[in-house]
Structure 1
Amino acid sequence: MRAHIPLALAAGAVLVLSGCSAGTSSSASTGDEVIRFATLPLGDDPKATTPVTAITDLLEAETGEKVEVTDVPSYSAVIEAIRNGHQDIGIMSGFPSALAVSTGEVDSLIAWPGEEEPVSTCLVLEDSPLKSLNDIDTDTVIAFADPASSSGYFMPTHMLHEAGLEADKDYQKLMSGGHDRSFIALKNGQADVACTSTIFPAMAGQGDPLFPFEKGETRSLGESISMPISITVLGSKDMSDEKRKALLEAIPKVFAAENADQLGVYAEGIPAGVEPIIEPGEEEFQPFVDIAKIADVDISELE
């Protein structure tokens, strides 16, 4: 949701990892006794920080192994490092997880189903002549956050498709580069609509630069469906069976309600009261594949 991620994973992703270590050691160990966890900010707020110390302590307590956490800014860096065996696990949202799993080179160890709530909304300014999705036409410019964003691209594109609207045919698509940039485009008249996460409208009137609007200054033309998978822990195929077994047992205990205060934003990203799926199959991610096709993205084409 935050990073510019092309379909082909960034060639320099592993180089990014090498300079961003925030874990218990200044350099990642390669021994099988060490669990190497690549993390990135979870959710749509780029100001949120990853609870590195809490993750390290909790995972070490549950597995009895040393844990090294590397916090990085992009999905591509995490996936590439796991694919190449440089990291054991990583945690991220549904769409990038589906991208990774579709390669056949990365496993999903554990996944949490999504909540039955809309993920995305498409906003207009209050005085916009657009009153519903039916008013969108070929002159309408719609801003999306990022081509790899679940809430800022894939889900709203699906919503528009269900309303009979296709990009470059029924409306003009603008990739802004981030949720906040979509709002700037909307505010400045560069876009007529900004499709984004449903978390943002509640920030109205708070003076938050991420959502630079007052209450009543924007309104929604429609909301998307919920996501079938909210969060997934991806795993390397290169890890030992012993390490995999330990992680399958430990991860649901670490990312649990009783650790919410320590996990902060990571706990917020996991639906409350929802049991995780252990070693989900490809069928669990098929809805993402179908939605990606609607967005004219073949997620099997990762390089």
Structure 2
Amino acid sequence: MQMKPQRNPALAAVLAAAIAAAIPQAARAADAPAARAADAKDCPNDGVVRFGVEPFDTSAKLVPIYDHIGKLLGEKIGCQVKVYIATNYNAEIEAMRNGKLEIGEFGPLGYVLAHQVAKAQAVAAFSSKDGKPDTYWASLVTYPGSGIKTVAEIRGHSFAFSDPASTSGHLFPAYGLRKAGINPDKDIKALYAGSHTASYEALYNHKVDAGELNSEQLQSATQRGHYKDGDLIFLWKSDPIPTDPITVRGDLSEPFKDRVTKALQTLDLSTLPEADRKIMGLGGARFVPQTDAAYDGVRDLVKTLHIDLDKLS
């Protein structure tokens, strides 16, 4: 796998690729009573609602899962829901900024940026087993035999991040490095693999000496037989992070936005196969309400690390 640093992806340049490369197989609303009863004028884009998803795992894993979610949502709102797996984090943000998406799932850092530049409004999130918005964690890891035993010893080594706009793939790992006195922009050989799966595979195959790993990717790697206890050494782990918000674009008509919000906040995901829920690391089986304020901690960390959100876009 060949990786190139991608510290400042150009949004305009990747938008067309994101939409053109989107998975052609889209979730279609079932012929349910709600769908039949809805007037076409109540749905945008001639009855089509576009739902963007960040590429936090491979498309092969994400497509069937989100096709299923899109179908469930379409049944509730009475519109056809087309799901697009973005080519990278910023492509999805740019798509919403340009009115190409009505709904989007963003990582927490991506959401902070999307809220700032693309009118994204957090309304829902995956639930935990106790019915509250779920959380996950980020970590710094290496492999046995790398010679690295502490975070401080990562200095001077190659390190795989996922994407500059990723919360657990960049923001929190950078924070963990800085706590150990390492400047992630100068003191390591940083590579941006483009996704959590790509950065994990780089580490798993010893293409880099250390890297980021979040709990969701760990669950996915375990499911596909690419991880067992002892394969990696955990050097640092973050506090719990709120999971990806499901957002609606803020400039949609209020009646439609309210309808979508209510549907998302009560969407039952229990019909998702158990294997799919494990791949995604889901604690519960539904969406629950989420608020913008839940991501204030991410905003504070952005300020602490002096990260310029404009440079991420």
Shorter-chain TM-score range: 0.7 to 0.9
Aligned to 1:272, what secondary structure does the other structure show?
coil
Q: Distance in 2 between matches of 1:186 and 1:57?
A: 36
Shift of 1:243: 0.6
CA 1:127/1:22 → structure 2, altered by over 3 Å: closer, same or farther? closer
Q: Distance in 1 between matches of 2:238 and 2:103?
A: 30
Runs of 5+ consecutive residues of structure 2 not aligned to the other structure: 1-5, 30-39, 127-131
Q: Tell whether the 8 Å contact from 1:121 to 1:156 is kept in structure 2 after alignment.
A: yes
Q: Distance in 2 between matches of 1:170 and 1:10?
A: 31
Cα shift readout 1:208-229 (whole Å, capped 9, x = no counterpart): 5xx4x775343121212221x2
Give me the TM-score of the superposition, normalised by structure 1. Answer: 0.75
Question: Structure 1 residue 81 and structure 2 residue 83: aligned?
Answer: no
Question: Structure 1 residue 128 and structure 2 residue 138: aligned?
Answer: no
Aligned with 1:288 (options 260, 275, 298): 298
Corresponding position of 2:35: none
Which letter does structure 1 place at the counterpart of 2:289? I
Q: Tell whether the 8 Å contact from 1:114 to 1:226 is kept in structure 2 after alignment.
A: no
Corresponding position of 1:174: 191
CA 1:16/1:123 → structure 2, altered by over 3 Å: closer, same or farther? closer
Q: What is the total number of aligned residue pairs between the two structures?
A: 286
Corresponding position of 1:165: 182
Aligned with 1:272 (options 284, 301, 308): 284
Q: Distance in 2 between matches of 1:45 and 1:109?
A: 25
Worse overlay, 77-86 or 265-274:
265-274
Q: Distance in 2 between matches of 1:275 and 1:235?
A: 14
Shift of 1:239: 1.6
Q: Distance in 1 between matches of 2:56 and 2:248?
A: 20
Aligned to 1:131, what secondary structure does the other structure show?
coil
Aligned with 2:164 (options 147, 150, 155): 147
Aligned to 2:191, what secondary structure does the other structure show?
strand
Cα shift readout 1:274-302 (whole Å, capped 9, x = no counterpart): 98335x23x33222223334555322567
CA 1:169/1:76 → structure 2, altered by over 3 Å: closer, same or farther? closer
Shift of 1:250: 0.9
Give me the TM-score of the superposition, normalised by structure 2. Answer: 0.73
Q: How does 1:56-135 map to 2 (within 5 A)?
A: 56-63=70-77, 65-74=78-87, 75-103=89-117, 105-111=119-125, 115=134, 117=136, 119-135=137-153
Structure with the higher helix share, 1 or 2: 2
Aligned to 2:142, what secondary structure does the other structure show?
strand
Q: Distance in 2 between matches of 1:205 and 1:302?
A: 31
Q: Tell whether the 8 Å contact from 1:161 to 1:294 is kept in structure 2 after alignment.
A: no
Q: Distance in 1 between matches of 2:16 and 2:96?
A: 10
Q: How does 1:162-241 map to 2 (within 5 A)?
A: 162-183=179-200, 185-186=202-203, 191-200=208-217, 208=225, 211=226, 216-227=230-241, 229-241=242-254
CA 1:142/1:41 → structure 2, altered by over 3 Å: closer, same or farther? closer
Worse overlay, 267-276 or 244-253:
267-276
Q: Which has the higher contact order (CA 8 A, sep 6+)?
A: 1
- What is the alpha-carbon root mean square deviation over aligned residues? 3.8
CA 1:295/1:31 → structure 2, altered by over 3 Å: closer, same or farther? farther
Corresponding position of 1:10: 12
Q: Distance in 2 between matches of 1:121 and 1:188?
A: 18
